[in-house]
Structure 1
Amino acid sequence: MTDTTKNTSQSHWFYSLVADPTTNANVHDDATVIDPERNGSPKVTSPEVSLTTKHEPGSVGALWLEGTPPADSVWAVEAIVEPRRRFRIWTILVSLGLLGLVVAGGAYAYFQPNRAAVETRAEYNTALVDLHNEMRTAQSVLDTVTGSESTPEDLANAYAPLGAFDVKAGAVRDLAVEPLPAAWPLIPTGPIDDLVPLRAELSLIATASDDLSNRLEITLEYRSSLGSVMNLPDLPTVADAAMINTLSVDLASFLADTTTVANGLPVDASFADHRDLLRTWLGDLAELQVTYLDALRNGDEATAATAVNTIHEGQRAVEVSLLETLNTVRSGLDALILETADAIAKIVNGA
């Protein structure tokens, strides 16, 4: 067989294999067409044509279509890249948020001592200003409790303003013993440390104001106690039997009441001399009243007059001693009020 005849037979066989519809479908692929008119070279259709052509299951065209994932397929490029991109964005956002929280927390912790110091200073200043305003109240109470013309009613009305002053003094005292603010670990405590000398000054003012309040209260109690018992009954040098009996009862009551009050007077160094003098006079009065009443019964007017004069002299001595003591107390408390007020003003004004 010649070469020409052999080539013609082979071409005819390939053409028959593709063109014959009875040929096994598994052998040929309808996506490939053999064109014998172009020197026997095969022609393959484009993928675009395959997309619109109905293919047999298992054919190359069908496999071609199966290898093209839909747009919403999890194997599509967008379906793979987009979630990763979103994951990275959220990771960055969360990281930035955490970093912001850390920075904000660090800033808060760093400036916390300064804020605490400012708040504490404000509390100190408020309490000191309130106490300074009450210094006038303390001065008014002092005028009442040491005034020679003060009546029992005046003394009774002095308790309320004294209580108001004591409340303000107590507020300063509480702040003076309150611990300083605590700083967080590893945070500079400079602003809080600066409060140490200020609190020391506050403590001095609290001590002074407490002393002032206590001494005013003692003086007020001392004056109020004596005001109700130091009134002797009238002591005539001549009296009948009925009057003598009345005088005997009145003097006995006066002596008993005054002795009870004297024994219950507040113990204070400022009034020690007056208290001793009062007790001495009461001891003398117990003897003088016997002499006086006997003189009245015997009609001894001269002896009765001498006894009355001695009783009155002792009473005046006690009263003078009280006025002197009150003047001394007033002088000392006046100075204490001025010193405390000046100390408060210096702190509040930042001097």
Structure 2
Amino acid sequence: MPEFDIAVFGATGFTGRLAAQSLAQNPDLKILLAGRDRAKLEAVRSSCQYKPGIRVVDAMDKEAVAALVKDVKVIANFAGPFSKYAHFIVESVVKEGHAYCDITGETVFIGEMIKKFQGEALRTGAVLIPMAGFDSVPADITSFLALESARAKSWVIDRMDHYYKARGGFNGGTLETALAMQESGDALKFMDDNILIPDPSWPPPPPVPHKPQYEPFLKTWSAPFFMHNTNARVVRRARYLENAQDTEAAKAVYQEHMIIGKGPLGHFAAKIMDAGLSVGAALSTKAIGRKLIRAVGPSPGEGPSQLAQEGGFYSGTLLAREGDKVRVAVRMKSKGDPGNVFTILCITEIAKLLVKEKPAMRGFTTGSLAYGHKLVEKLKARGVKITTEIFP
């Protein structure tokens, strides 16, 4: 029987430290902090309300990782780049039939893990919910609720457009992971719509333009949302896991947009935002560009100030269409920096559910498929506003 409920792996990083402090507010949970540096782990422990245990573990030490996983029910992983540091953790969780969640956006790595370990995970009963933060809980939950409402009305949804408004800071770890993907060549594979679908016969969605667009329902201009390539893959995997034989679901479009503004100024601003994203993407493909980005961006372990975290927010509206008609609108709102406050809220609630509740689906899954409305209600209880509107 595992001694601990949840191990926070990478507890000394910026987001891992925040997660440790959040989980250690629960006296009924036995928390373990795991990382490479004992002194840093002790510092994080001293900042926690209920003092967790400590385990010094190097993610590259396969035997040490296996011993850690045996001792805990759930690994909540914050140590990236995940393609570099998470392989032995995932392998051990699958072998033991335990549970795992993380905050990666590295769909290429997760796709590789699915191909390698999904069969064994289903045999051992392991439950793995990667991308359990701002990547990609809003996309997963809003699409789940929209499609559930549509099915109740016998509507066939052809397209879902998710419109984001957000304010927050940027973490050095997130930046380093993105740059590492470019250096490894994974960024090209990142564009594969079916990167999380192991069945090569499952058809890809029709191509859609990634450019500034006007949304008549919201009466606003938008630019492409930079997290689309991660979130859209998670939404497609959820549809595949629901019914791998439903090729109509495979053809449905899911696209993400950043709300910019209304009128001619909104249109102009959307073009500027789109151009800025293109320049940033181009810079990251060149060694000199990555060097410049690292020089001006936050370093691993760094993140936004407490004031910036508290002043952030996320607001999203997902529009589900049957043909040209909007049938369902799902709205989600949360206070706090999306990449830190909201991410920590999401992954800690998922980790606690993994400890206390039996999931509806095992193997590599998503929060919505494992816990559905239980997760929705947990998020609401933490102050996240989630509403669904139907348009007959």
TM-score range, shorter chain: under 0.3
Q: More helix by proportion, 1 or 2? A: 1
Q: Which has the larger radius of gyration?
A: 1
Give TM-score scaled by structure 1 length. 0.23
